[in-house]
Amino acid sequence: MHQQHELEDAMRRALQLAGNGPAEGVNPRVGCVILSPAGDILAEGWHRGAGTCHAEVDALAHLDADAARGTTAVVTLEPCNHTGRTGPCALALIEAGVAHVVYAVADPGPHSSGGADRLRAAGVDVTGGVLADEAQAFLADWLVSARLGRPHVTVKWASSLDGRAAAADGSSRWITGPAARQDVHERRAAADAILVGTGTALADDSALTARAADGTLLARQPRPVVVGRRPVPAGAAVHRHPLTPWFLPGHDLTALLHELHGRGIRRVFVEGGPTLASAFVRAGLVDEYLVYLAPTLLGGDRLALGDIGVTGITEQRRLRIGQLLRLGDDLLLVAQPAGAEGPGADQTDHIDQTTRAIPAALNQTN
């Protein structure tokens, strides 16, 4: 039997391997390490995207016949138990003669879960939860997508210390400094799509691209999505984005997210002004908050958030601070809903089913 530290070391390596897989699309990034009874790494594998071998099968393919018998497979996600474009990984491990399977996070998919039970029924020793926190952080966007059938939603805003997103005349460039702005661009690049309302698209005329400090485009770009009914002129900057923008009229945020999920969007970056941000908060559809705070005071009524459905202190939306970062003179708070027990945990206690609709004010300038 392997020591705990050996399994954790192998799991960290499996997480590294998982990072080689594509960050976009509907499939998770998964890594697998095959250990000999003595603890040596015999094979490694990872999932390269839809239609390709899953990580476990990829690792097994590097071994000769019967070489996996009696080994331990360390995999970042519970082996799947369904047949899609490829067969069930649980069955592949059983047929290869793997004696022990270690995984970090259970598969939440209604059609793909159950691999651990199938392995145990076949006499395979199964251990779950090894480096679960690290794996959940790595798979956060996919776990939300798999559990809820919608993309992981990050809402971002920048504000003064007194919570204002703009001065009284509406001007907002620039509240934060260059280090904070560059951090935003790098986080944009990590998303599959960036959402703004039509009011913000018209007022700011942003290209919604992810750029380096010198203004050049980063290698990976988010899909620009403009939400609302007001037409965006053909000459608007968003039309010059490397990816064709999507214009979605949507009234219902849940339906909007399900549509994006159906188009292969797994991580959404909401940067579209107070109206759109407030609508997502009010609907209880935010998985992560990015709040950039500048050491300045603006006063006035240009708040970073508007009505989020809180009428009394007992209805406040409590958050859990995950990170507090210094970016030049500015601060970045990374937070999650306090009621969320992990990626994709449904915040139903905070959701008013009547407030999921995008307000008509979205079409106004934010």
Question: Looking at the chain, how many residues does it have?
Answer: 366
d(CA 141, CA 158) in angstroms, rounded, equals 23
**Owner of token pair 């970073």:** 304
| Integer Cα distance of 210 and 204 in angstroms | 16
- Determine contact, residues 264/25, Cβ cutoff 8 Å: yes
Task: With beta carbons less than 8 A apart as the criterion, state whether 50 and 77 touch.
Answer: no
Q: Distances from the Cα of 216 to the Cαs of 190, 208, 213, in angstroms? A: 16, 13, 7
Q: Hey, which residues does 35 pair with through a beta bridge?
A: 41, 72
Q: How far is CA 251 from CA 18, 161, 192, in A?
A: 37, 32, 21
Number of CB atoms found within 10 A of residue 216's CB: 9
β-strand pairing of 246-248 with 223-227: parallel
Give burial (CB, 10 Å; 0-12/13-18/19+) of 251: middle
Question: Which of 231, 281, 273, 230 lies closest to 253 in space, CA to CA?
Answer: 281
Measured CA to CA in angstroms, residue 219 lies from 36, 194, 209, 222, 242 at distances of: 39, 16, 11, 10, 11
Contact 35/18 with Cβ under 8 angstroms? no
Which of 24, 44, 56, 271 is labelled catalytic?
56
* 56 has catalytic annotation: yes
Residue 327 CA to residue 101 CA, distance in Å, equals 42
Q: Active-site residues: which are they?
A: 56
